Structure 1
Amino acid sequence: MPTNGRLTKRSEFLAARRGRRLNGPYFFVETHVRGDQSPPRVGLTVTKKIGNAVVRNRIRRRLREAIRTAASGFMRDGVDYVIVARRDVLEVDFADLQRELSRRFGRFDPAAGQTPTKRLKSANTPEV
């Protein structure tokens, strides 16, 4: 991933969070359509509850390599992608990880609109 193809600012990650969400067994992808035709950008999120720094960095390296080798061809210009990893990324076969990333990126259609996904309310949240 080249430096200009990365998300680095918190505001960019939050913009993708308001976009479309594509769920998968090992990670989910949040997308944001920028509206220009610049190259796609990627941000990776691995939370602390997944493990210590060694584990989180290993997950990020696996995802970066899977994007570089297989999934970058399925990414659309003018779209930001944020991949939020789950711990299962460590145990999955690398070929399966590549296939899953390619499927998630290939399923996204920017022409379908920027409709946010519905977030489920928790059972104990009162309605206002």
Structure 2
Amino acid sequence: MTTPEEVLETAAASPAAISARFAVMKTRANFVAASKARYETATSLTVQMRDRRDGDDSMRVGFTCSKKVGNAVARNRAKRRLREIARLDLPHLAKPGHDYVLIGKKDLTATREFEALRADLAKALGKLG
């Protein structure tokens, strides 16, 4: 059994996790507005990007998967994977003041290799500019 002091020493020695906070879009109006903006399709996901033009530099992200992706378990798994690639990559690749919607694809988002999923996001964001 480890003592509390050993736990603190181990935590201090390990590097902090890279994490960025972003607002999550939840209202239908935000998703509808983003759906009318630019989008780019990659192998395993679709990315919609909308410039809010409201003077706010924060980044907002929404995640969605239709029932075509599968049952609730498959949709939730796909959305968890989308949230994780957004957490890892969007702070470095996204533009401030924009809304992003990541849309999962049938049979691909939940099963594709994680690094390939990250590459798909980077490719789509690169094409969006």
TM-score (norm 2): 0.76
TM-score (norm 1): 0.77
Same amino acid, percent of matched pairs = 31
Instruction: Determine the structure 2 residue equivalent to 1:97.
Output: 117
Structure 2, unaligned stretches of length 5 or more? 1-19
Task: Determine which of 47, 50, 54 is the counterpart of 2:69.
Answer: 50
Letter in 1 for 2:43: P
**Distance in 2 between residues matched to 1:49 and 1:100, nearest whole Å:** 20
Q: What per-residue deviation string (whole Å, max 9, x for no partner) do you get for residues 34-87 of structure 1?
A: 012422111011011211111111001111111112333101101101111102
Instruction: Determine the structure 1 residue equivalent to 2:47.
Output: 29
Structure 1, unaligned stretches of length 5 or more? 110-128
- Of the two, which has the highest radius of gyration? 2
Q: Contact 1:75/1:106 (CA < 8 Å) preserved in 2?
A: no
The answer to whether the aligner puts 1:17 opposite 2:17 as a matched pair is no
Secondary structure of the structure 2 residue equivalent to 1:69: helix
Q: Contact 2:46/2:104 (CA < 8 Å) preserved in 1?
A: yes
**Distance in 2 between residues matched to 1:71 and 1:40, nearest whole Å:** 9
Instruction: Determine the structure 1 residue equivalent to 2:105.
Output: 86
Give the ranges of 4+ consecutive aligned residues of structure 1 lying more than 6 Å apart after TM superposition. none
Q: Contact 1:71/1:98 (CA < 8 Å) preserved in 2?
A: no
Secondary structure of the structure 2 residue equivalent to 1:104: helix
Instruction: Say how many residue pairs are matched.
Output: 108
